[in-house]
Amino acid sequence: MTLRPGLVSVTFRHLAPVEVVALARLAGLGGIEWGGDVHVPPGDDETARRVAALTTSAGLETAAYGSYYRLGHSAAEGLSPESVVRTAGLLNAPVVRVWAGRRPSSEADALYRARVVEDARRIADLAGAVGLTVAFEYHRNTLTDTRESAVWMLEALAGLPVRTLWQPQPERDLAENLADLRAVLPYLANLHVFAWTPQRRRLPLRCHHSDWVAYFAMAKTAPGQRYALLEFLVDDDPDLLGADAATLCQLVADA
């Protein structure tokens, strides 16, 4: 496995794409997951092309398109999966991030799960037709909020270009988070990297250095190449990116 350090653009929602690119390049990062909520809205072809060119000209890669497409919901609310996949393609993103519904797995009945899976099949078919992969956000209040439910979703979509992102859950301890990561290793796309307390207070990445050593040691056993993407700096402060990026780059190098 090869890990590359990168950045999630929504870490700096208040900055323009050209500023995000400059920061990532200065920090020595290799790629950017571009967010669809602010920086590259779905369906905005001009912006997608412009941001793709900015990224490439800086010697960076588009690691993923961080769409906010909610499986089972967004199409009915006016956001088509076709527009999401098209925007990802224009960005040169190999991965399209989507959210596995809008309910925690503990509150999802069979009908709701079937609705989410059906929509996942639809967007996965569209993505696969143009050589892209769909990846779930591994996140609370979705059907990928636990290892059991995430694996159920992924197995329900066997044979399609569907994977999952992974990030630690702050309220879980190291052993629980490692068990979560181990469960999804066969389906692992990129990782989102941050340091939070159980109360979701943000910390410098160095404060969870030992945890990330363990996470990366496990992640490196999965075949393929993926990004470890910084997210959630303290106070969203661009001046703190350098220190966290240095920690991330060292962790990646050591892994």
Condensed to tens digits (0 to 9), the pLDDT of residues 92-104 reads 999 999 999 999 9
73/77 Cα distance (integer angstroms):
6
pLDDT of amino acid 42: 98
Give the model's pLDDT for residue 12. Answer: 97
Q: What CATH number is attached to the domain comprising 28?
A: 3.20.20.150
Question: How many domains in the chain?
Answer: 1
User: What's the predicted TM-score (pTM) here?
Assistant: 0.97
Domain that holds residue 148: 2-254
With a cut of 50, list the residues of the chain below it in pLDDT: none
d(CA 136, CA 142): 10
- Confidence (pLDDT) at 199: 95
Three-state helix/strand/coil letters over the chain: CEEEEEEEHHHHCCCCHHHHHHHHHHCCCCEEEEECCCCCCCCCHHHHHHHHHHHHHCCCEEEEEEEEEECCCHHHHCCCHHHHHHHHHHCCCCEEEEECCCCCHHHCCHHHHHHHHHHHHHHHHHHHHCCCEEEECCCCCCCCCCHHHHHHHHHHCCCCCEEEEECCCCCCCHHHHHHHHHHHHHHEEEEEECCECCCCCECCHHHHHHHHHHHHHHHCCCCCEEEEEECCCHHHCHHHHHHHHHHHHHHHHHC
As given in the structure block, the two tokens for residue 139 are: 């996140």
Give the pLDDT confidence of 42-83 residue by residue, as tens digits: 999 999 999 999 999 999 999 999 999 999 999 999 999 999
